[in-house]
Amino acid sequence: MPAIDLQEVTKRYGAVAALDGVSLTVEAGEWLAVMGPSGSGKTTLVNLMGCLDTPTTGSVLIADVDVSSYTRGQLTRFRAEKIGFVFQQFHLIPYLTALENVLLAQHFHSLTDESEARAALARVGLAERAEHLPAQLSGGEQQRVSIARALINDPAIILADEPTGNLDEKNEEIVMELLRGAHQAGKTIVMVTHDPTIARSAGRRIELHHGRISDISIFGGGDEEQLDEILEQLWLRRENDEPAHQETLRITGPLSAMRAIETLLRRGWISRAGGRLALAGAGERRAADIIRRHRLAEVLFSDTFQLRDESELEAQACQFEHILSPEATSRICAFLQHPRQCPHGSAIPRGECCPRE
């Protein structure tokens, strides 16, 4: 069952078609990024998904419910149960404390529970700020309060309209990490952003132009390749008895260095002690596989294809380490009679196919 299903949705404001025949399905648990120039209809789209607005024509189904038949009261109730909102401008009530802002959202849903609201603030790192008014909080802290507010009723869907638009880089990262946590907990996220790097956290991206979807792209691959390259560097450092710190690694790709390292730490693929990074758990095996593919490709190209140009050899091996399937790797390994060293004399990690010692 899709989380959100829009069919031929149009929204007109007088002569302006803010949305012009948009059909879009968001699967449960998906993270969708919505991009496009100012005025292209992003906010209108998110407001329709959040039942803050109704379409001029077309249908909007949220969690399989056709909300167009709902009365205002039913909509308010439905929204409080199913949807959490995060806005660029935070939209906190200025004369209520952080805690009261969260309690208010809880009140609309059910009974207020102060300890639950305090726990929600603690989860976004604001246990000590519960009694502060929004004006006494930084922009990043206000946005964290609004995330606590969005999550307090455990909604299935989070709609975030430029959630990092008013934040500096550090707070942007904190907010994105909270959204990533929500996504990992199974929430469906629709996030409007101008920033292509931020959009990369999503699994899919759509672009709006003049109220129409002009482009859809699916991510995946790019981020994983970047993570693999970090694992590979950690393997090489260890082989050479060199310490590895985040600052001394070459980290390029769609994710920021900090985000890439945090992803690896969260997955348990690396560990960090005193600033030093090391391979761990499944990261260890993954790194061995990458190094193995890389070095087998080097042997293949240098011995079998007589490729002698060093930089060409390296470039080819770098490509192959990402694209060889386990089966192809085993076949190449067998074909080369399970070599133990690459052309540069470094050890090739043993594979399943390799004869036991």
**Chain residues that interact with ligand ADP, rule: CB under 6 A:** 13, 16, 18, 36, 38-44
- By CB under 5 A, residue 226 contacts Mg ion: no
**Residue 44 touches which member of Mg ion, ligand ADP, none, C-beta under 5-8 Å by kind:** ligand ADP
Can you state the angle between helices 114-123 and 139-151, rounded to 10 degrees? 130
**Residue 122 touches which member of Mg ion, ligand ADP, none, C-beta under 5-8 Å by kind:** none
CB of 209 to ligand ADP, least distance (A): 10
**Residue 343 touches which member of Mg ion, ligand ADP, none, C-beta under 5-8 Å by kind:** none
Q: What torsion do the CA atoms of 290, 244, 258, 197 make, to the nearest 10 degrees?
A: -40
Return the range that interacts with Mg ion (CB under 5 A); candidates 41-49, 201-209, 230-238, 242-250: 41-49
The smaller minimum CB distance to Mg ion, of residues 84 and 283, is found at: 84
- By CB under 5 A, residue 43 contacts Mg ion: yes
Return the range that interacts with Mg ion (CB under 5 A); candidates 36-44, 48-56, 94-102, 283-291: 36-44
CB of 49 to ligand ADP, least distance (A): 12
d(CA 174, CA 67): 33
The smaller minimum CB distance to Mg ion, of residues 42 and 200, is found at: 42
Token pair, residue 292, equals 């193995």
In DSSP terms, 86 is beta-bridged to 160
| Burial class of residue 125, CB neighbours in 10 A (0-12, 13-18, 19+) | middle
CB of 19 to ligand ADP, least distance (A): 8
The smaller minimum CB distance to Mg ion, of residues 42 and 237, is found at: 42
CB of 268 to ligand ADP, least distance (A): 38
Q: How far is residue 333 CA from its own chain's centroid?
A: 36
The smaller minimum CB distance to Mg ion, of residues 44 and 226, is found at: 44
The smaller minimum CB distance to ligand ADP, of residues 49 and 124, is found at: 49
Query: Smallest Cα–Cα separation from 296: which of 326, 264, 257, 253?
Result: 326
d(CA 175, CA 167): 9
The smaller minimum CB distance to Mg ion, of residues 43 and 171, is found at: 43
CB of 171 to Mg ion, least distance (A): 20
- Give the CA count within 13 Å in the CB-facing half-sphere of 289: 16
Residue nearest to Mg ion (CB): 43
SS3 49: helix
DSSP 178-233: HHHHHHHTT-EEEEE-S-HHHHTTSSEEEEEETTEEEEEEE--SHHHHHHHHHHHH
The smaller minimum CB distance to Mg ion, of residues 167 and 333, is found at: 167
CB of 11 to ligand ADP, least distance (A): 8
Between CA 292 and CA 327, with CA 302 as vertex, the angle to 5 degrees is 40
**Residue 252 touches which member of Mg ion, ligand ADP, none, C-beta under 5-8 Å by kind:** none
Token pair, residue 186, equals 């199974």
Residues near Mg ion (CB under 5 A) are 42-43
